[in-house]
Structure 1
Amino acid sequence: MVKIVLLDGYDLNNDLNWETLRSLGDCVFYDRTKTSDDNEIISRIDNAAIVITHKTPINKYVISQSPNLKYIGIMGTGYDVVDIDSTRKKNIVVTNIPTYASDAVAQFTFSLLLEVTGQVGLHNQLVHQNRWSQGPDFTFWEKPLFELKGKTLGIIGFGHIAQKVAKLAHAFEMNVVFYNHLPKEVQENWLKQVSLDELLKISDVVSLHIIQTPQTLNLINKTTLAKMKRNAILLNTSRGKLINENDVAEALNNHKLYALATDVVSKEPIRETNPLLKAINCYITPHIAWAPLETRERLLSVTVSNIRAYLSGSIVNQIN
């Protein structure tokens, strides 16, 4: 029976039924594996042929010390946790789950935007602190509120999630533009493809929907921030390292950027020294856009389907 090792199931397994995965082989599940300890990762992979990872990195050294490894299943869309070049050289199959969270992340992207523009959380808190009951008027607001209608949303990247975000923005009667490193053909007359510089210049809201690569690291930095409107809102539900956190924090504190709303940071869990924690108008959630129950159930289902396909000789969702 094939040995299957899951390196980091804690965030996924407390309310899911894993019996379908157990049925595929001799399974060993770990809640957490130290992401900085190559030796622990290697010892847990041991002689397994199939390894499943969510956020535990499988680098060149780990791959070189895992001679029985034949398949790596990434429980997610991004594949920056695996050294893809090394897997190619070792003929190790790598699969991901390309669209499992598209609806959830698009929904969460707008949750972040609506929090910045509608301030629901703040005013709910103030009401419960008796600010309303003790006030002289039928209403009050602590921070500015904004309509989305007529504002321009600029989307960087145009994959599945970005396309869903674009449709949501259109439903709010926003103007929608996007930039993609490879030009895309679009049929919608309300959607416009522009250069990155043009997008940064005209957008009231900039939303990041690209994968992390050497070319996209620190894409948002002093130079690109200087091209944006001073009252722009920046959204990030992709990867934390797409932005230079020091530069963004400085822009927020100097009123050169109105707000950042992000579900991701460069090092997770967030470090107490992260400059975004002390930046003004900065909204941070703990990487939960992907986490609705329905989304995680889909994630597990596709993970099982990917492995079943691999075992039957008909590989699906291979990325290498």
Structure 2
Amino acid sequence: MTNQTDLSYPKDNIKVLLLEGVHPTAEENFKKHDFINVETYSEAWSEEQLLERIADVHLIGIRSKTNITKKVLEHAPKLKAVGCFCIGTNQVDLEAAMQAGVTVFNSPYSNTRSVAELVIAESIMLKRRIPLRDKKAHEGVWLKDAKESYEVRGKKMGIIGYGHIGSQVSVLAENMGFNVLYYDIEPKLPMGNATRMDSLDDLLAQSDIVTLHVPATPSTQNMMDRETISKMKKGSVLLNLSRGSVVDIAALKEALQSEHLSGAGIDVYPEEPESKGEKFNTDLQNLPNVILTPHIGGSTIEAQYNIGMDVSSKLINLIDEGTTVGSHTVPPLNLPKQKDAHRILHIHENKPGVLSEINQLLSDMDINILGQYLKTNEHIGYVVLDVDKQYDEEILEAMQKVKHTIRTRILY
């Protein structure tokens, strides 16, 4: 018998790799919690670069340009988690990560306010036709008139997708004096005095500004195409700060040139440069009253700070406590801190009999269970056991031999 008081894997041996210029607060947070082996790089890595360097990495942090493929995961035997320091997880093969028992986190809500504020700012700028007046002023033309320049007070804003960002836009828009309409494929309670629309067509026909806040799915692919855009109110404005795949750029250009739409604000595109400074082209360039931004809806100092703190904290809590809240692969468990105990983490295929085999094993080894937590999804299960400090040091090897085990480790 042994009385182990240290972590089963000392923190100075845990390698953390942060790519793509993740905000410095993440590195600071790791070091504050005694993770001293942290490497940071400003650029995205290719699959070849990852294959060369991933073998001894325990935690990796990426943004949107580095892809964690099945092949990469197969070459990462020590990898315990991937932290996506952004909203999405499309850059990670979630199925392969789940089968490998690798936890995947992201930060879906940390930049909500930043995106919502830009929506409001662009709405005002476009209804006042500021892009055109700004361009003329730079050219030395004094375009001082009120032609086609409107207040937003009393106008109707149509929000498509009423999730965290859409609902935040709703609150800000109403405070600016908009009458807010929204449409979502799922029932959502309104914020403030917002009105839920029964159909997308009704929202498009009534809205002075339409703003998109939907995910990239097969059902949203080019949802704003020539037919859909034609249903928008004449003279209205279209904003897309969601995903580049949801707007047919050619159809939008036609609507702007024919003056069916009076303006547009686009932050995301079907094809985007891989890195800062690369050449960027879109058919919407040089059109009047169009605001083009380089996918910076959530790119504020505050948002990046919050994302850095949020995702790094999730990774730290996984290593220190086994907590998986916010995971897209391993079932989410929010675990209490436990004193005077060891914590055993066991990830396994979701098959009948695994838990009973684990309990029988602990009973046979005369190990007392102080707490037990279990969460499963369709494919895998995650069981956490808090056991007495006095335990057989062979328990880890025995747990690894349990049928359908993917991976296991001991904390404290």
Q: Distance in 2 between matches of 1:271 and 1:217?
A: 25
Q: Distance in 1 between matches of 2:282 and 2:224?
A: 16
Q: Distance in 2 between matches of 1:317 and 1:220?
A: 31
TM-score, normalised with respect to structure 1: 0.86
Identity %: 29
Q: Describe how 1:24-43 pairs up with structure 2 within 5 A.
A: 24-34=35-45, 37-43=46-52
Q: Equivalent of 1:45, from 42, 54, 60?
A: 54
Q: 1:162 offset after TM fit, Å?
A: 0.9
Larger Rg: 2
Question: Runs of 5+ in structure 1 lacking a partner?
Answer: 133-138
Q: Distance in 2 between matches of 1:59 and 1:218?
A: 26
The aligned amino acid for 2:79 is L
Q: Describe how 1:268-283 pairs up with structure 2 within 5 A.
A: 268-269=272-273, 272-283=280-291
The aligned amino acid for 1:239 is R
Q: Distance in 2 between matches of 1:131 and 1:80?
A: 46
Q: Distance in 2 between matches of 1:17 and 1:165?
A: 28
Q: 1:125 offset after TM fit, Å?
A: 5.8
Q: Please tell me whether the aligned partners of residues 171 and 192 of structure 2 are also in contact (alpha carbons under 8 angstroms).
A: no
Instruction: Provide closer, same or farther for how the CA distance between residues 243 and 42 of structure 1 changes in structure 2, counting only shifts above 3 A.
Output: farther
Q: Distance in 1 between matches of 2:316 and 2:98?
A: 21
1:8 matches 2:17 = no
Please say which of residues 200-209 and 267-276 is displaced more in the overlay: 267-276
Q: 1:187 offset after TM fit, Å?
A: 6.3
1:63 matches 2:63 = no
Q: 1:302 offset after TM fit, Å?
A: 0.9
Q: Which residue of 2 aligns with 1:288?
A: 296
Q: Equivalent of 1:316, from 304, 325, 329?
A: 325
Q: Equivalent of 2:112, from 102, 111, 123?
A: 102
More strand by share: 2
Q: 1:313 offset after TM fit, Å?
A: 0.8
1:20 matches 2:29 = yes
1:191 matches 2:195 = yes
Q: Please tell me whether the aligned partners of residues 98 and 317 of structure 1 are also in contact (alpha carbons under 8 angstroms).
A: no
- The size of the alignment, in residue pairs, is 309
The aligned amino acid for 1:165 is V
Question: Runs of 5+ in structure 2 lacking a partner?
Answer: 1-12, 330-412
Q: Which residue of 2 aligns with 1:239?
A: 243
Instruction: Provide closer, same or farther for how the CA distance between residues 30 and 162 of structure 1 changes in structure 2, counting only shifts above 3 A.
Output: same
* Misfit runs of 4+, over 6 Å: none
Instruction: Provide closer, same or farther for how the CA distance between residues 228 and 266 of structure 1 changes in structure 2, counting only shifts above 3 A.
Output: same
Q: Distance in 2 between matches of 1:48 and 1:143?
A: 60
Instruction: Provide closer, same or farther for how the CA distance between residues 218 and 25 of structure 1 changes in structure 2, counting only shifts above 3 A.
Output: farther
1:249 matches 2:272 = no
Q: Which residue of 1 aligns with 2:63?
A: 54
Q: Distance in 2 between matches of 1:142 and 1:126?
A: 15
1:262 matches 2:266 = yes
Please say which of residues 268-277 and 192-201 is displaced more in the overlay: 268-277
Q: Which residue of 1 aligns with 2:385?
A: none
Q: Please tell me whether the aligned partners of residues 58 and 83 of structure 1 are also in contact (alpha carbons under 8 angstroms).
A: yes
What SS does the aligned partner of 1:258 have? Answer: strand
Instruction: Provide closer, same or farther for how the CA distance between residues 212 and 187 of structure 1 changes in structure 2, counting only shifts above 3 A.
Output: closer
TM-score, normalised with respect to structure 2: 0.68
Q: Equivalent of 1:118, from 110, 125, 128?
A: 128
Instruction: Provide closer, same or farther for how the CA distance between residues 115 and 26 of structure 1 changes in structure 2, counting only shifts above 3 A.
Output: same
Q: Distance in 1 between matches of 2:256 and 2:51?
A: 42
Instruction: Provide closer, same or farther for how the CA distance between residues 229 and 45 of structure 1 changes in structure 2, counting only shifts above 3 A.
Output: farther
Q: Distance in 1 between matches of 2:186 and 2:147?
A: 39
The aligned amino acid for 1:5 is L
Q: Distance in 2 between matches of 1:266 and 1:143?
A: 33
